[in-house]
Amino acid sequence: MKEDFLHFLWKTRLFEPSQPITSEGETIEIIHVGRHNIHAGPDFFDARIRIDKTYWAGNVEIHLRASDWNRHGHQTDPLYNNTILHVVADNDAMIRNSAGYTIPTLEIGWPLWIEFKYKALMQKHDWVNCASQLNKIDPFRIRFFLNGLAIERLQKKIGSMEALLEVSKGDWSETFYLFLARSYGFRQNGDPFEMMARSLPLSVLQKHKDRLFQLEALLFGQAGLFHESLFLDEYPLALKKEHEFLSVKYGLRPIAGHLWKFMRMHPLNFPTIRLAQFAGVLHRCNTLFSTIIKLEHMADYRSLFRAETSSFWDDHYTFLKESGHQKKAMGEDSFQLILVNVLVPFLFLYGEHNNKPELKEHALKIMEELPAENNTLLRHWSAAGIQAFNALESQALIHLHHEYCEPRRCLECTIGQKLITHME
């Protein structure tokens, strides 16, 4: 048995008896179990209990054994001095806080059928613990749960954005530029793309937004991709020369070109193509972020992010590798990934910071308009009976798997809780 099971019993009031008695023989009435604390400190904040005729408000700490209080060092930690009740499965010791006061202890039990269901759920027999039992859950309850998970996933994404926004002293445009740049590298080249963007301030790019040639010279030059000495075409030679001039003018230092990954990648995903596409987007905007927050329709976003590259890339994958004649605009799948991972979280964050609920609603609407991702994980969910009908739901299912199923946080999951408490 683990402590999180006791947390679950306490939070759901499934412990026995309903009118418990402390180890000192005093009657306890649980008025409010408190708010579950997932950070350092007592397990539940702001609980309300009545011991005999005295009303108490404070924290609740939960352990398997009462002696764990001392083993964890709480007897010397002032952070636990406002603990009004110690809840345990085995009351094997009297405990005190750092001020020397005895903490009332409540030993709890629970129905055996709940323990049986808990142990059965935690014994993984499939790709997720509950896969074979999902048909027992009301589909409406699952849909409602997914909506909450989608917001939770958004909140996690905007956490890193908020941190960078703070570092950039509230500069929304620069922060958005850095995250967008990283997204253009996708999984394989996200790091060098971000490093390149950090070496090239957005303010410099905006001075040359009207000339695609100069934007490419700056981006490719700062990416360190002008190291080739045997360029066969005049265009890369001209870009290299332009970058040499602009880098001196602005005091720019490129990153190392060897950081970019080309091996085992489809040529359309080469960083050279992604950089050319990124230049195309910058060329289409007067100011990048202010343009983004004013767009309203999916067609507008698609037109912006699927902007065509310069004509050189119609016939090339790299400066030395030619291709058949083909426009190299970003594909639909890549476009949707950028919307889901950068645009939507940023719109949501901007709306939250600037009291613009309409922007938050717009961000969620974008997710509802996009089709669900199609990958192995989502096919597993579909086979188990939960199908995502749009990107909002597919993101929720991805979050459910990564944040709850993989770390086996079944007791914190609405589905897991329902399966444990459901009486057949």
DSSP state of 101: P
Average model confidence (pLDDT) across the chain: 92
Count H helices and E strands in the chain, helices first: 17, 6
Residues 295, 227, single domain; the answer is yes
- If you average pLDDT over residues 85-96, what whole number do you get? 93
Q: Where a domain ends, among 110, 125, 158?
A: 110
Q: In which domain, by residue range, is 314 found?
A: 168-330
- Structural domains of the chain, count: 2
Residues 181, 289, single domain; the answer is yes
Segment 160-199, tens digit of pLDDT: 899 999 988 999 999 999 999 999 999 999 999 999 999 9
In a domain, 311, yes or no: yes
- What's the pLDDT band for 17 if we cut at 50, 70, 90? low
* Domain endpoint, select from 291, 312, 330: 330
Q: Are residues 91 and 219 in the same domain?
A: no
How much of the chain, in percent, has pLDDT values that exceed 90?
79
Query: Is there a single domain that holds both residue 74 and residue 174?
Result: no
CB-neighbour burial class of residue 424 (10 A; exposed 0-12, middle 13-18, buried 19+)? exposed
User: Domain check: are 189 and 56 in the same one?
Assistant: no
> Residue 411 domain-assigned?
no
In a domain, 362, yes or no: no
Asked if the structure places residue 77 within a domain, the reply is: yes
- Tell me the average pLDDT across 344-369: 95
Answer yes or no: is 415 within a domain.
Answer: no
Buried b (16+ CB within 10 A) or exposed e, 256-277: eeeebbeeeeeeebbbbbbbbb
The percent of residues above 70 in pLDDT, for the chain, comes to 97
Q: What is the structure's pLDDT at 230?
A: 61
SS3 assignment, position 57: strand
CA angle 281, 198, 202 (to 5 degrees): 45
pLDDT at 30 over 60: yes
Residue 222 burial (CB count, 10 A): 25
- Which of 308, 322, 316 lies closest to 278, judged by CA? 308
Please give the pLDDT value at position 26.
82
In terms of domains, do 213 and 73 share one? no
| DSSP states of 141-169 | HHHHHHHHHHHHHHHHHHHHHHHHHHHTT
235-264 pLDDT per residue, tens: 999 999 999 999 999 999 999 999 999 998
Domain C-terminal end among 110, 129, 145: 110
Do 88 and 194 have their domain in common? Answer: no
For the entire predicted model, the pTM comes to: 0.82
Q: Are 179 and 326 in the same domain? A: yes
Range in 124-133, 341-350, 388-397 with the lowest mean pLDDT: 124-133
Return d(Cα 235, Cα 241) in angstroms, integer.
10
Quick one: 85 and 233 in the same domain?
A: no
Q: Which amino acid is at 237?
A: L
Whether 274 maps to a domain, the answer reads yes
One domain for residues 106 and 174: no
179 and 315 share a domain?
A: yes
For residue 149, being part of any structural domain is answered with no
Cα–Cα distance between 330 and 322 in angstroms, integer? 18
Verify that 182 and 325 share a domain, yes or no.
yes
Assess if residue 163 is contained within a domain.
no
